[in-house]
Amino acid sequence: MTKPVPRGWRAFLSPGHWTQYFADLSFGFENLMMHKLRSLLTMLGMIFGVAAVIAMLSIGAGARKQVMALIEQMGVRNVIVEAREAVAWEDMEKVRKLSEGLTLRDFRVIRSNVSDVVEATPRKRFVPSRMVPKPAHDMPVVFGVRPNYQQIAGLALSAGRFFNEDESQSAAPVAVLGQGALAALFGQTEAVGRYVKVNEQWFHVIGVAGPQLSAQTAAGSLPAQDLNNLIYVPLNAALLRLEDSRSNMKDEIDGIYLQMSSSLETLPASDVVRSLLNTSHRNAGDFNVIAPAELLAQQQRTQHIFDLVMVAIASISLLVGGIGIMNIMLASILERTREIGVRRALGARQRDVVRQFLVEAVLISLLGGLIGIGFGFGISRLIAWLAGWSTVTTASSILLAFLFSVSVGLLFGIYPARKAARLDPVEAIRYE
């Protein structure tokens, strides 16, 4: 035997209960249409508030997606050491009195003292003074690395292959082009099998790397670098074949990549690497140790704070819109005092009057929120087109802005609705 439905739920589920709401909704919509301009002006606060929330969050989500993808591309299991180059010659002289810079000996010390390292490679960065074919745009940068760099950096190839261990040991003049270097040197033509002259040395192109994300600005301690405008060559080839200044003012190598067995090992490993280098470099401060896993966690915390601040700023417009709704509803009470009195005289209860005015207030915020969603989406697309930024409009941002707008309408409609319901019916009917 089924249990009887409670009286409250029976009343809530009854058709008559919902008929009253539909009637109030229809009546409220008619009142808004009778004063179109006033209704639109009242909605503006909600429209701009919702649009601001969506636009702010879409910009933040786009920036977060781009930075997160860049950090993940760096490898959450990796630890990266970057040589820090002094800008002024005087500063470089001071540093060289303490440290000879990043060297292969540093790499060997780190490799022998840091546990749980799966793969590791030094890196020598080289900027050519001339190149054949002549680049159409910026001069590509040469990266001298070991073959396992492909695994460490997660480098995918779109054509050909990466150089192997034999070619690396023999300093073979072979090269793999990035997408930007390919476009600058050969345009849309096939590059594998052709030759590139870097200063005075010819390199045989054996592969082309796939496209990579690049930071326009520095990410953490990692300098801004177009990762597509690169040419990868064996480390020994970069050290032995390419012309380079061998003064004591130059680092023997300028980067070290370590891939750990787990992302949990990156922070302890980065502390050990930093300690080893501080000791051998006598605290010269001529290097940076970057742990992408730490950057990822830091970026997530920063983005969370950014989202909260942006929502708080954009919500001010919603609060202003709510004040506008309260103001127009209070003015509406004065205009419709006789109407309220007649309704009360015909048997309408206070809660019926409250429901009527609340429905109208929520209807204003609801329509304003819907228009604001479209407006905010358009603003985010416009910003992406004009500024070249990446924007992502998420369902959560739309839902947050919409619920906030409806809640504001409900909150700021309560006081006018209760004031209308408390009017004396006799005095209201006589009101002129």
Q: What is the pTM of this model?
A: 0.65
For residues 136 and 15, the model is more confident at: 136
273 pLDDT band, cuts 50/70/90, is very high
DSSP secondary structure letter of residue 137 = S
State which amino acid sits at residue 70.
Answer: L
For residue 245, what pLDDT band results from cuts at 50, 70 and 90?
Answer: low
CB-CB contact of 270 with 287 (8 Å): no
| Cα–Cα distance, 344 to 429 (Å, whole number) | 9
Q: Exposed, middle or buried by CB within 10 Å (0-12, 13-18, 19+), for 136?
A: exposed
Q: What is the mean pLDDT of residues 240-267?
A: 78
pLDDT of residue 106: 93
Q: Whole-angstrom Cα distance, residue 424 to residue 10? A: 32
Tens digit of each residue's pLDDT (9 = 90 or more) over 74-118 = 778 899 999 887 777 777 778 778 888 889 999 999 999 998 899
Least confident range from 76-80, 175-179, 203-207, 210-214: namely 210-214
d(CA 89, CA 80): 26
Contact between 362 and 416 (Cβ < 8 Å): no
Contact 235, 121 (CB under 8 A): yes
Contact 410/325 with Cβ under 8 angstroms?
A: no
**Domains of the chain: which residue ranges?**
21-68+299-429, 85-285
DSSP state of 82: E
**Distances from the Cα of 10 to the Cα of 7, 16, 23, 258, 323, angstroms:** 5, 11, 20, 68, 36
Q: Which of 42-51, 82-91, 239-248, 282-291 has the lowest mean pLDDT?
A: 239-248
Please report which confidence band the pLDDT of residue 174 belongs to, taking 50, 70 and 90 as the band edges.
very high
